[in-house]
Amino acid sequence: MKPSRFPYLVLALILFQPGKAYAGASLFNTSGSGVCQVGKTHTVHVRINSGGGVGINAAESTLRYDPKILSVKNINVKDSVFKLWIKKPEINAKDGLISFSGGLPAAFKGSAGTLFTFDISPLKRGPASIAFSTSTVLSADGTGKNVLVETRDSKYIVGTSKEYYDAQALTKKLSGRILLQVEKNGEAWYVYPNDLKRYFLGRPDDAFNIMRRLGLGATHKYIMSYKTYPSNVVGKILLDVEKNGEAYYINPVDKKGYYLGRPTDAFRIMREKGLGINNATLDKIPDWAI
């Protein structure tokens, strides 16, 4: 077994970084597919969230999947935030592994930086997953400290065309809803009406930023004109362009607008108006990130 050369990259990056405090980072996958059909190809994005602070500048990980369920191919690093690779993403089809080790000279700061993409093609029906194992993310503060606090795996249901279309119908039904993952400490997701994908809301600051970035600009007069809103804005976030982008969530259940205010206010509204959902149902809804 070859020794990892990751420490040499770590040393090189440490030498050029100033020391500062850091917040926790996360690794996760997005695919845009909750239910997959046998033989259909779907693209998976491996992403990183720097978590704030000074940012990160290196990461390595191994992802695992069942090669009897999924065929994996076509790794692409063209749009990666990493520019230096000790080990470019590599597929071990026999054992169902994808491993990588890389970084960049400067710090990366962001909530959904793409590391690489690859294609999956389901081989047979049943549950499938792509899970992180043995992962490290390094702070760009000059210490080489591992600041990884979370990994989020991808789960899929490989089904028939009927199951696929049933999942699409479910997603449309939940358009604009905030979903609370009851089997995972009530983690929150937002089903964006424009693309019918779910976005992880994470911590209060993350949730606030995501909802503002997915928001629709509107005049103050328009926002104040309704007690119950028309169907074309139900489930969306309206940003008041005349009031510094103040945000309002239009709840699909009662069609009323709720002022999101500060990050803690937005997080509270999400909890109050959210719909509890179990993992099996949530896994049917496509996930994405920005």
> 23 vs 20, which has greater pLDDT?
23
Pairing state between β 287-288 and 197-200: parallel
Quote the distance between the C-alpha of residue 122 and its chain's center.
21
Closest CA to 116 of 138, 87, 145, 140: 87
CB-based contact 266:260 (threshold 8 Å): yes
pTM: 0.68
pLDDT digits (tens, 9 = 90+) for 200-251: 887 777 777 787 789 999 999 999 999 999 999 999 999 999 998 899 999 9
Pairing state between β 178-181 and 275-277: parallel
Looking at the domain covering 6-159, what would its CATH class be? Answer: mainly beta
* Burial label, 172 (beta-carbon count in 10 A; 0-12, 13-18, 19+): exposed
Per the listing, tokens 């704030």 go with 52
Mean pLDDT, range 188-209, rounded to an integer: 85
Separate counts of helices (H) and strands (E) for the chain: 6, 20
pLDDT digits (tens, 9 = 90+) for 56-101: 999 999 999 999 999 999 999 999 999 999 999 999 999 999 999 9
Q: Write the CB contacts of 203 (distance below 8 Å, at least 6 apart in sequence).
A: none
Domain ranges of the chain: 6-159, 171-288
The confidence score (pLDDT) of residue 8 equals 39
